[in-house]
Structure 1
Amino acid sequence: MANTPSRVTTVTKVTCTPQLSLSALSTAATDKEIIGKQSRWVHPHLIESIDPIKGRQLRASQDIPAGTCILIDCPYAIIPVVDNPVTNEGLLCSNRACNRALRAPASRVVCSKSCLSDVAWCSTTCRDSNMAYHNFECNWLKRYAVPIRKKWGEYIFGMSWVIVRLLASQHVERITRLEDEEVRPMHEWKCDWRGVESLCGSVDSWSHEQVRSWTLLVKKYLQKSAVLPHDMTPDQVLHLICQEEANSFGLYPRETGIYPCPEPPIDRGEQYAAAVYPIAAMANHSCIPNMMHKPDESGRMIFTASQDILAGQECCISYFDLTEHINLTSRREHLRKSFRFTCQCHRCASEAPAQNSSDWSAMPLMEL
């Protein structure tokens, strides 16, 4: 009998929280209240634009003062990143609408099938409301988590798990839309599967060796099957990996992108999760970012203006911890190795000898 996940009708609906209007913003008291009340929020002066070289980008349509909350985005897929999930107090609740740290290991609610020690919930309520997502991944985790970790290592397992959770979110989103007779208006910000499909990334952005390795991974573990009942072809799954690798965020306990760096330097801490955010992924990199970002206790990624942003300026973040890569050589080497482009931000261009300048890659990648 095929181990096909059962269809569960109790699901968390994927919706986009509409932007506040300008008038609403003026009466919205403080950024603290905005952050506390909104599940997903985009500042009215933040717009999407297209650059012929960089592609999609975030830009200010009007002046945005320093300290302003600019964007709050929710993860479309998120996984914990911990060394010992059984005892680690930073393990996250597996309900993607919760994501709170499970500080008391003894009180965790675990999977009845014991699929993976990394999977746990903070309450039976979170577990029950999350079962549509978890039923999709449970058999896959039980069968493949250990083999992938043993043969391919922790990083590839984490990447594969993010892919599975992306597919789970797509699966539940499709069920929700089929069962929901209400016609919901399309939102200008794509925060559902359409947003994932819009992410940059393709096989042309990676080396032949890397693409060949991922192709084998898809063939062995991520193809459509009774254990993983999605509707994508192997080539589509491979493309999704390229998109995920180009756009996933690492979650850290402190802000990324504070510039100038404080003295003495304070790094952003140890990574505890990884996630894909459909809107936040549009932010490009600068070594002198005008936005900093930090996840909150629910896994939402919050962008804040770190300096005054003038109308027409691009809104950029740093893809790495600026306290770790300080000089031009270190920054560019890290970006070439990890994100496959040569940075030509104002800081790098001003520090670089003219003969060493090169074009910015058409597809900026992010570790974040």
Structure 2
Amino acid sequence: MSQVVYITVEPSEQTCVDGISQKQSGWIHEHLIESADPVKGRQFRASHHIPKGTCLLVDRPYAVIPVVDEPAVNDNLICNNPACNRRAPRAERYSCLNACIQDVAWCSSICKDADKSRHDFECTWLKRYAESIRNKLGEYEFGMLWLIVRLLATRHVELQEHGSMTGSQTRRFKHGWEAIDSLCGSSGTWSHDQVKSWTTLVKKYLKSSPALPHGLSTDRILHLICQEEANSFGLYPRETGHFPPPSPPIDRGEQFAAAVYPTAAIANHSCVPNIIHKPNDEGHMVFTASRDIFPGQECCISYFDLTQHSELDSRRGHLRKSFRFVCHCDRCVSEEPAEDTVEWSAMPLTDDTI
């Protein structure tokens, strides 16, 4: 049996009502604690009984990008201000004065002005590289690189405002850049060819320069890509993780954004999850207990839409391809043929589709 190290998390003074955070900094239930498993790494567990329907977590994204087709005419484009993330309807949106890319828009002049420092950091990079990256490498690679730039932009704003990346010693959960720096994922968990490809991208598009003045080494940016790819979430309009799926099944809809969350990224996957997750109107990731969770139980989400992969072979094939691990949850073990022996092979690694 794996040894579990419990790390108690103190509750904040915030409240969660109907899945909505009362403060933009986020909220976590007092009975949701962090623990560490020698094989799976960080995980959430319940310290006490948590009833079905309980809001467990409301986490603000550290960085988020829109993911929509034809952004200039798409009403699902989100506001570029990371403190807002609400939809920016075509008739009301404000665009970048430098016309960097059509994906960048704000829902109001107030949001645009509030986002000036962060967007100034990314604007020159977007103007110089976005079109060529999209044409040469495609939307997925562009989205990955842009999300890295937005992580660096938020870090840049933190440095401007606080002058330091040191976190509060009184918090049990890390926050800000300190939390991003502690996310799982490293070059050792990816294939040599993949790491080589990312290294080339870093040297060509993400090195520190006047267009992207982050001041970090090439190796650190490569490590940041490994962390982002292992921890980013896709944002969908409906919940992910209902089990059993409703009949007839209802999928989670079309992805409209991708984001990195400092605390939500701790959650591991199960094909029989006890948490459903969904972004609220402000882009915060909301975790809700989908059934009663008892003391000591791990609290898991599903990394993919369970309506799309119902059979064991389909689920495991998808997880191997997209998330780079073999699932050994109770459901998978109960459905596998008797002669098969499957073990966790690595930390769960993800793309931006959680």
TM-score (norm. length: structure 2): 0.93
Which residue number in structure 1 is paired with residue 113 of structure 2? Answer: 128
SS in structure 2 of the partner of residue 259 of structure 1: coil
Give 2:327's aligned residue: 343
Q: Using the alignment, how far apart are the partners of 1:249 and 1:91 within structure 2?
A: 17
For 1:36 and 1:176, the matched residues in 2 are separated by 24
Aligned to 1:20: 12
Corresponding position: 1:266 with 2:250: yes
User: For 1:364, which of 342, 345, 348 is the aligned residue?
Assistant: 348
- Matching of residues 221-232 of structure 1 within 5 Å: 221-232=205-216
Asked if 1 retains the 8 angstrom alpha-carbon contact of 2:20 and 2:280, the reply is: no
Equivalenced residue count is: 341
| Structure 1 vs Structure 2 CA RMSD | 1.7
CA distance in 2, matches of 1:364, 1:282: 10
| Partner SS, residue 86 of structure 1 | helix
Q: How does 1:43-122 map to 2 (within 5 A)?
A: 43-103=29-89, 105-122=90-107
* Larger mean Cα displacement after TM superposition, 34-43 or 306-315: 34-43
Contact 1:50 1:57 in 2 (8 A): yes
Instruction: State the alpha-carbon separation in 1 of the partners of residues 327 and 253 from structure 2.
Output: 24
Aligned-residue offset at 1:232: 1.0
1:234 aligns with 2:218: yes
- The CA distance in 2 between the partners of 1:312 and 1:36, in whole Å, is 26
Structure 2 letter corresponding to 1:358: V
SS in 2 for 1:303: strand
In the TM superposition, residue 107 of structure 1 has moved relative to its aligned partner by: 2.0
Aligned residue for 1:106, secondary structure, equals coil
Gaps of 5+ in 1: 1-17
Tell me how far apart the structure 2 counterparts of residues 265 and 146 of structure 1 sit (CA, whole Å): 38
CA contact 1:54–1:361 (8 Å) conserved in 2? no
Indicate if the aligned counterparts of 2:21 and 2:27 stay in contact, CA closer than 8 A: no
Q: Deviations over 1:77-110 (max 9, x none)?
A: 000001101000000100000000112x132111
Q: Partner of 2:163: helix, strand, or coil?
A: helix
Aligned counterpart in structure 1 of residue 145 of structure 2, from 133, 140, 160 = 160
What per-residue deviation string (whole Å, max 9, x for no partner) do you get for residues 106-128 of structure 1?
32111111111100101111011
**Counterpart secondary structure, 2:269:** coil
The residue identity in structure 2 corresponding to 1:165 is R
Give identity over the alignment, percent.
60
**CA 1:299–1:239 in structure 2 vs 1: closer, same or farther (change >3 Å)?**
same
The more displaced of 355-364 and 265-274 is 355-364
The residue type equivalent to 1:242 in the other structure is: C
User: Aligned partners of 2:189 and 2:129: how far apart in 1?
Assistant: 28
Aligned to 1:289, the other structure's residue is in SS state: coil
Q: Could you list the runs of 5+ residues in structure 2 that have no partner in the other structure?
A: 1-9
Q: Which amino acid aligns with 1:353?
A: P
CA contact (8 A) 1:77 1:276 kept: yes
Separation of aligned partners in 2, 1:54 and 1:142: 40
- The 1-side partners of 2:107 and 2:343 are apart by 48
CA deviation profile, 1:26-78 (whole Å, cap 9, x unmatched): xx6x732x725233000000111000110000111111000000000000000
Counterpart Cα distance in 1 of 2:28 and 2:298: 15
Aligned to 2:286, the other structure's residue is in SS state strand
Q: How has the CA–CA distance of structure 1 residues 65 and 272 changed in structure 2, closer, same or farther, with 3 Å as cutoff?
A: same
What is the DSSP-based 3-state SS (H/G/I as helix, E as strand, rest coil) of the residue aligned with 2:316? helix
- Which residue identity does 1:137 align to in structure 2? E
- Conserved 8 A contact 1:55-1:362: no
Q: Is the 8 A contact 2:328 2:344 kept in 1?
A: yes
The 5 Å alignment of 1:109-258 reads: 109-178=94-163, 186-258=170-242
How far apart, in 1, do the equivalents of 2:55 and 2:132 lie? 43
Match for residue 3 of structure 2? none
Q: Quote the Cα distance in structure 1 between the aligned partners of 2:157 and 2:171.
A: 19
CA distance in 2, matches of 1:186, 1:174: 20
Residue 289 (structure 2) pairs with residue 305 (structure 1): yes
